Chain A
Amino acid sequence: MSLSSIDRLRRWRRAMLGCVMLLGAAGWLAAPAMADAPPAADQQTVRTWCAGCHTEDTPGQFQRLSAVRKSPEGWQMTIFRMQHVHNLALPDDARDAIVKFLSDTQGLAPSESAAGRFALERRPNMPDLKLGDDLPDMCGRCHSLARVSLQRRDADTWLRLVHMHVGQFPSLEYQASARDRYWWDIATKQLPAKLGAMFPFDTQAWRGWMNRPHADLGGEWLVHGHSPGKGDFVGTLSVKATGGDNYTAHYSLQSPEGKPIGEIDSLVRVYTGYEWRGSSKVGSVDTHEVLALSEDGRRLTGRWFEAAHTEVGGDVVAERAEGPAAVFMVSPRALKIGTTSEVLIAGRGLNGTVTFGNGTSVKVLKASPTLIRASVKVNDKAAPGPRAVTVGRTSAADMAAVYDKVDRLDVQPAYGIARVGGGHIDPVTAQFEAFGFIESQAGQAPVALGPMNVSWKVEPYNADAVKAQDVKFAGRIQPDGSFVPGPGGPNPERVFGTNNAGDLTVVAGLDQEGKELRGQAHLIVTVQRWNTPPIY
């Protein structure tokens, strides 16, 4: 195939503008390598690598790219597309600098990224955003609508995006949920104005945010969190600024029982003044953190996850170590009537008498301003219900719950997906957790007891699953509630030689004095996703 004149022009202009032509591998939003100076984030890098095609009409205004705002991952994906579809060759340093610069200057305000954060955090099995009747089919049949919500354009630029989609993926109009309608007419005549109104380029929120000076995240933080299937964790986070919104971070984490989880070093870059992206190694496993800094600069919230298995991870909260006394977490949350439990209270400035309310007696075993280990006895006459936990003058409502009997188990996610592996794609596991509840009584809300220790099994979801022996082939559920799918590819032992897909009911069982309380969820075990972008 001969090169088109546009390709030739593009290549010539790039060759003239770019000095170093290296093939950049697409990677995680890279925190800088320890030994290297962080790449400078400035407009010149954009000019050097992008202006060959994105002509700079007026100083700092580049065709197309200056009309879009996105998350850091969104910019990363755009550059990936430029590399892999349009043969852009640029060094990793330049790529990282461009992502940083564009995220800072054409990013999203915290209020704009809030709804779609679950996609940035790679939370598995999340219900997608509800964005009206037509967007689920028009956009959401390929992408999450969270991905749509994490971009800002005016109507004319949304229209150009439609042209890009059909130009690049001509089969798009032929697919199910496209061919049943006049897709092109809707996509070009109705959607751009709608998206431009929902997600416009110019907003008060962004104007207000973009000019705020970036907070310095350096200093000491207190961490608490929860990893489904693994449990709660607490610890400290020590953050040191290395310049240019780059940081080194050291996590020191332990389980509620005091067992060390890890001393973890993370390289962090903060985008857009609040988007914390960390990369670290836990043992031999590469992990990432996607956290967001609160607008007051005092709290980081988000998720950690394994780089190769983003479905494996957990919630993370970090609070500034300096600040007013507060109780952040009590673990375990549920305290059974007539028993004595050892609990951990995590907080800040903890000092004074510890109480869990009427019918309980507390013996402090070990105390520091941030962690208190205590033995809590709940007597036979204690009333079931939520409990405030008080340490000295600091009290936090609904931090614990007293119960006699668990009335209900809610298995989360209620609808989960696991995927067989195969080729270069790893299997995707599905992690389930069973949350206990006391049912509502006398107009009171149900009382949440938190994750319960249960036994796990899977059953066929329906008659087809019985017939196809899905339980035998689709995979195994582990004692921690993690479902590990079977191997990928056609399986000659199955009817039609089909792969190890399955339709299963995940069953959590809780033994209560010889009677089993059962909770259940629906699990689909399906085929691989062959493309695994940072934002689905």
Chain B
Amino acid sequence: MRPLIACALALSLFGSQNLSARPALRDYILTGAKPDHLFVIDAAARKVTSDIRVPDANGIVGLVVPSPDGKRAYVLVNRMESISGIDLDTGKQVFRANLSSGDEVVHSFFSVNITPDGRELIVHELPTKRGLNEYHVQEPRFAIFKTDAGLDAKPVRVFPAPRRVHLVLPKADGKSFYALGFQLFEYDLATGKKLGERGIRNWGRPGYSTPDMLAFWPVTEPLDVFVTPVYSTLGTGKDAIAKTSLMKLDLKSGALSYQDFEDTSAVIFSAVASPRNGEVFTVYTQLSKIDTNKGVLVDRVNLPHTFYTINIASDGHEVFVGGTMCDVAFYDPDTLKQRANLKLPGCPDQSISTLRVIRR
């Protein structure tokens, strides 16, 4: 009986086609919402295909990290203290790591990611020992979990980490990973050895101030490229100009670059690299298109409200915006006109959840 139920759920979660017989892969959007929702959205159909309730989410579903095969999503829940792995076909929790244990409270500030083979989770942990009447903040660490560890997952490797890391990104070869914090750090996945450190804080751009960046949406699909806005000032005193730049990290080659595209004229929260024409799209209260071949802002339109996160169709022919409130909107990448707006059932607050795209 159970396999039949699972099969029925699979059909309801991912549309009416038989998955194995389906010739063309489709884009599905994942997003979380308060208090415990993980939504699966058929992007082309503009339809929520599943509303999964994450167990013991404790108020908010923050970070969303899909497995490379698109069959699972790992979400940061329980006020940044737990990671729940959800089977997207059954809606069941199949992995759980409660980071805190005993007298040690452990948070991860959105710094969770999965290795390219889908076998391990990399977690940046902020531990604090709770004494009878005082806290002892401990040094941060990276903890590696096996994704097949089940519902009481414990780290299989632990090694020291810098403070204030806000994002972990695995390199495409699966041998190392990046941690974004004061600097862009690179660590060996197996040994935890620090392999390198490149400028974020010390970005080495003459005439520019120390940049400000706080990215906690690890969107790297579809190109294995991470892009995010960076703010700084060029020059000093009355001649200082506020600049918005794009930081681009290629997870395949490891290439890191910074590119200016405008004197700061809009707040931008997140960005995504399109597979078409070197375009990057960014979002907050406005949707912007940047031509990275020329380093110029191409177009910018006002949005009906704030959207924190952005993603893009695998073929680059549609831009998705989400987070903040209870809708996901679909935009034409050429005209920046809205094509559709999908209100999530019950209108739950997506808050700072990540908008991710899987292909199934």
Contact = CB atoms under 8 A, between A and B. Distances in A.
A164 interface: yes
B102 interface: yes
Given A171-B109, A179-B164, A6 B132 contact: yes
A497 to B, nearest CB: 4
A179 B305 contact: no
A9 B98 CA distance: 21
Instruction: Give chain A's interface secondary structure class.
Output: helix
Nearest to A184: B163
B285 A496 contact: yes
Contacts of B126: 170
B336 to A, nearest CB: 15
Nearest to B182: A182
B302 A496 contact: yes
Interface in B80-98: 80, 98
A173 interface: yes
A231 to B, nearest CB: 43
Most A CB contacts (10 A, CB to CB) among B80, B126, B325 go to: B126
A226 interface: no
A164 B107 CA distance: 14
Interface in B110-133: 126, 128, 130-133
Given A63-B133, A163-B134, A5 B103 contact: yes
B132 A1 contact: no
Contacts of A163: 128, 134-137
A173 B285 contact: no
Given A1-B98, A4-B103, A167-B105, A174 B135 contact: no
Nearest to A63: B133
B78 interface: yes
Nearest to B107: A170
B347 to A, nearest CB: 12
A6 B103 contact: yes
Contact of A495 (B103, B131, B163, B302): B302
Interface residues of A, number: 34
Contacts of A63: 132-133
Given A174-B164, A180-B210, A167 B306 contact: no
B305 A496 contact: yes
A496 B132 contact: no
Interface string A143-170: 0000000000000000010011011101
B214 interface: yes
A174 B166 contact: yes
Interface string B137-158: 1000000000000000000000
B297 interface: no
A164 B109 contact: no
Contacts of B137: 163, 166-167, 184
A409 to B, nearest CB: 32
Nearest to B134: A160
Nearest to B131: A6
Most interface-central of B56, B166, B304, B305 (chain A CB within 10 A) = B305
Interface residues of B, number: 35
B263 interface: no
B173 to A, nearest CB: 29
A170 B125 CA distance: 11
Interface in B263-298: 285
A5 B131 CA distance: 10
B174 to A, nearest CB: 28
A358 interface: no
A1 B78 contact: yes
Which of A54, A174, A182, A498 is packed against the most chain B CB atoms within 10 Å?
A174
Interface-centre pick from A167, A171, A495 (highest chain B CB count, 10 A): A167
A170 B109 contact: yes
Interface string B181-194: 01000000000000
A54 B131 CA distance: 11
A190 interface: no
**Central interface residue in B101, B134, B136, B166, by most chain A CB within 10 Å:** B134
Contact of B132 (A10, A176, A498): A10
Chain A CB count within 10 A is highest, among B100, B101, B133, for: B133
B109 A9 contact: no
A54 B107 CA distance: 26
B305 A4 contact: no
A423 B343 CA distance: 22
A164 B134 contact: yes
B212 A179 contact: yes
Contact of B133 (A55, A180, A182): A55
A219 interface: no
Interface in A158-205: 160, 163-164, 166-168, 170-171, 173-174, 176, 179-180, 182-184
Contacts of B164: 173-174, 179, 183-184
A490 B303 CA distance: 13
Nearest to B139: A184
B132 A9 contact: yes
Nearest to A187: B137
Best-surrounded residue of B80, B130, B131, B137 (most CB of chain A within 10 A): B137
Given A174-B164, A497-B305, A54 B133 contact: yes
Contacts of B107: 170
A170 B212 CA distance: 19
Contacts of B214: 174, 176, 179
A53 interface: yes
Interface in A41-70: 53-55, 63-65
B285 A4 contact: no
Interface in A443-489: none
Nearest to B181: A179
A64 B166 contact: no
Contacts of B135: 160, 163-164, 166-168
Contacts of B132: 6, 9-10, 53, 55, 63
B17 to A, nearest CB: 37
A164 B136 CA distance: 8
A492 B103 CA distance: 47
A53 B135 CA distance: 13
A174 B213 CA distance: 10
A495 B302 CA distance: 8
A162 B303 CA distance: 41
B164 to A, nearest CB: 5
A492 B137 CA distance: 44
A167 B98 contact: no
A158 to B, nearest CB: 13
15 contacts: A4-B103, A9-B132, A55-B132, A160-B135, A167-B105, A167-B128, A167-B136, A170-B128, A173-B163, A179-B214, A184-B137, A495-B302, A496-B285, A496-B302, A498-B305
6 closest residue pairs by CB, A with B: A167-B135, A497-B305, A167-B128, A496-B285, A170-B107, A163-B135
Given A1-B98, A4-B103, A183-B164, 15 more contacts: A1-B56, A1-B78, A4-B100, A10-B132, A64-B133, A163-B137, A167-B135, A168-B135, A171-B109, A174-B109, A174-B166, A182-B182, A184-B163, A492-B304, A495-B302
